[in-house]
Amino acid sequence: MKKNNISIAVGGILIVMFVCLLFFFQVRTTEVAVVTRFGKVSRAATAGINGRFPWPIENVFKFDSRLQNFERKFESTITADGKIVLATIFIGWRIAEPQKFLEVFDGDIIKAESSLENVVRNAKTGVIGRHAFGDFISPDPTKVKFEQMEKEMLTEIQKTAKSTFGIDVQLCGIKQLGLPENVTADVFKRMKAERERLVKKYTAEGEGRAQEIRAEANLKKEELLAKAKGQAARITGQADGVASEAYSKLQQDPELAKFLFELRALETSLKERSTIIADPNTPPFDLLRSPGTKSGSTPTGR
């Protein structure tokens, strides 16, 4: 009896589980779901437990709602000025309208990416075709317009993808950029010529600045020399005035003037330790004679 009760309980649980599977389904937070009734889209299901009619009345299609990556092939495109560039474009997309996504692609991700590939190709060709080659490669970083081109591509892709496929494209970028071999050689030549032009420009600016500095230095030198000459002239004038005053005083007493000149000459000649052989009557050494000694007589003393 007990075994029968256990079997009945287990059977009842299985029946309940089977009924739940038939009439309910779960949608994770990382998923979006669409319910179809007799093969036609009926409604979108939210995350959590949702009710349904059993198959074949209703069927549930679940899709990953997380951001997915898609990368375009490395292909050549012509710029506005006729140059050829090779570019790889990537996008990040997610399913925004699951009903439309199911209707267009039958829920097939491969079909969706194939359609996105055509949209990305058209957007890349259109945007690159509106930009010159200098917007991709330039010695001046401010002239490179990668971010602007990526925004233009994203805008064009979003318009078509969401309205036609129910796909929300949130990211678009240029992953890789290349050039054909012949174009690469031309690019290097242009870059070399641009660098040489910049070298000449900066050299000319440096030489011009050097001339300005030299001119300023020469002007400053002339100003300092003029100032120094003026100060020298003032000092010389003051000295001449003092000398004139001294000369006027010496003219009043010639004997004193003579004595002072001889005394200075004697002081100059005996300034350093030296031996002098001369006639004691030779000026200014005659000042060394004792007072009262006559010329021609030998002075006495130690």
User: Does 174 share its domain with 136?
Assistant: yes
User: Does 175 share its domain with 82?
Assistant: yes
Q: What is the pLDDT of residues 180-201, one digit of tens each?
A: 766 666 666 777 787 888 888 8
User: Does 128 share its domain with 159?
Assistant: yes
Task: Classify residue 290: in a domain, yes or no.
Answer: no
User: Does 73 share its domain with 170?
Assistant: yes
* The total number of structural domains that make up the chain: 3
Least confident of 171-180, 203-212, 272-281: 272-281
Give the residue from 62, 84, 111 where a domain finishes. 62
What per-residue confidence (pLDDT) applies to 36? 81
User: Does 174 share its domain with 83?
Assistant: yes
Q: What is the pLDDT of residues 220-269, one digit of tens each?
A: 988 888 888 888 888 888 887 877 777 776 666 676 666 776 767 666 76
User: Does 198 share its domain with 168?
Assistant: no
What per-residue confidence (pLDDT) applies to 157? 92
Task: Classify residue 6: in a domain, yes or no.
Answer: yes
User: Does 132 share its domain with 212?
Assistant: no
What share of the chain in percent tops pLDDT 70?
75
Q: What is the pLDDT of residues 204-214, one digit of tens each?
A: 888 888 998 99
Distance CA 36, CA 61 (A): 8
What is the model's pTM? 0.53
Instruction: Count CB neighbours of 91 within 10 A.
Output: 26
The winner for highest mean pLDDT among 96-100, 123-127, 234-238 is 123-127
Task: Classify residue 240: in a domain, yes or no.
Answer: no
User: Does 78 share its domain with 25?
Assistant: no
Query: Which CATH number belongs to the domain containing residue 97 in this structure?
Result: 3.30.479.30
User: Does 104 share its domain with 170?
Assistant: yes
Q: Under a CB-based contact definition with an 8 Å cutoff, are residues 258 and 286 in contact? A: no
C-alpha distances in angstroms, 86 versus 64, 78, 155, 188, 200?
32, 9, 21, 17, 33
Cα-flanking dihedrals φ and ψ of residue 232, to 5°? -65, -40
Task: Classify residue 134: in a domain, yes or no.
Answer: yes
What per-residue confidence (pLDDT) applies to 187? 64
Buried b (16+ CB within 10 A) or exposed e, 245-261: eeeeeeeeeeeeeeeee
167: left (phi over 0), alpha (psi -120 to 50) or beta: beta
Instruction: Count CB neighbours of 154 within 10 A.
Output: 19
User: Does 75 share its domain with 153?
Assistant: yes
Task: Classify residue 187: in a domain, yes or no.
Answer: no
What per-residue confidence (pLDDT) applies to 127? 92
C-alpha distances in angstroms, 280 versus 57, 263, 294?
153, 15, 11
- For residue 68, which of 187, 178, 169 has the smallest C-alpha distance? 169
Task: Classify residue 175: in a domain, yes or no.
Answer: yes
User: Does 12 share its domain with 44?
Assistant: yes
Domain limits for position 94? 68-179
C-alpha distances in angstroms, 69 versus 72, 116, 169, 285?
10, 11, 10, 115
Task: Classify residue 298: in a domain, yes or no.
Answer: no
Least confident of 9-13, 38-42, 56-60, 201-205: 9-13
User: Does 202 share its domain with 170?
Assistant: no
What share of the chain in percent tops pLDDT 90?
11
Task: Classify residue 285: in a domain, yes or no.
Answer: no
- The pair of structure tokens assigned to 228 is 């120094």
